[in-house]
Amino acid sequence: MISAGDFRNGITIELDNNIYQIIEFQHVKPGKGAAFVRTKLKNIKNGGVVEKTFRPTEKCPQARIDRKDMQYLYSDDLYHFMDVETYEQIDLAPESVGDALKFVKENEMVKVCSHNGQVFAIEPPLFVELEITDTEPGFKGNTATGATKPAVVETGATVYVPLFVEQNDKIKIDTRTGEYLSRV
């Protein structure tokens, strides 16, 4: 159990049969009345954000989130992952994976997040290196504005890249934002 007076950013708590991560908190001491803690909570299963106030003495159970490194094997109707230590495999439905794997190739490592054995999210590596399979040629002299063009990478995702990047180039991508970082 954790009291509201001890809240910090990033802590996960159980509240109303849901699991929330504290995004923002503020300890407020008004001129009149009792102090309170104002928080912004993100539901880690569906991504919704709610605001809630607590008395500093209120207690909430702290949620234990397990993050396990697993290898993404392949996808058919389901997405298949394997624990590289025990060789156990799990299969996840496309709804629970979402678009977390749009920059991840087969046989790459990802983090599988679960609570009480129920998987709720897949965390790809922060940066990936992928090859461009299709893009238009850039035109000389059209670089004054820092122009970009769409490029399709080997996983099928589309990334906007500078005009000098060509087909078959390897590029580095930030998976959180989907932005081009550099050529490799």
Question: Mean pLDDT per segment of 10 residues, for the chain of length 184 residues?
Answer: 86 86 89 89 84 90 88 89 90 82 88 83 88 82 72 90 87 88 86
**Token pair of 104, please?**
């991840």
What is residue 120's predicted lDDT score, i.e. its pLDDT? 78
Q: Which uninterrupted H or E stretch holds 39? A: strand 36-43
Domains and CATH numbers, the chain: 2-60 (2.30.30.30), 66-123 (2.40.50.140), 127-183 (2.40.50.140)
What is residue 53's predicted lDDT score, i.e. its pLDDT? 92
Q: Return d(Cα 55, Cα 35) in angstroms, integer.
A: 7
Residue 106 contacts by C-beta under 8 Å, 6 or more apart in sequence?
72, 73, 74
Residue 84 contacts by C-beta under 8 Å, 6 or more apart in sequence?
69, 70, 71, 109
What is residue 39's predicted lDDT score, i.e. its pLDDT? 92
Q: Return d(Cα 140, Cα 126) in angstroms, integer.
A: 33
What is residue 144's predicted lDDT score, i.e. its pLDDT? 60
Rounded to two decimals, the pTM is 0.71
What is residue 42's predicted lDDT score, i.e. its pLDDT? 87
Q: Return d(Cα 21, Cα 9) in angstroms, integer.
A: 8
Phi, psi of 96 (to 5 degrees): -80, -20
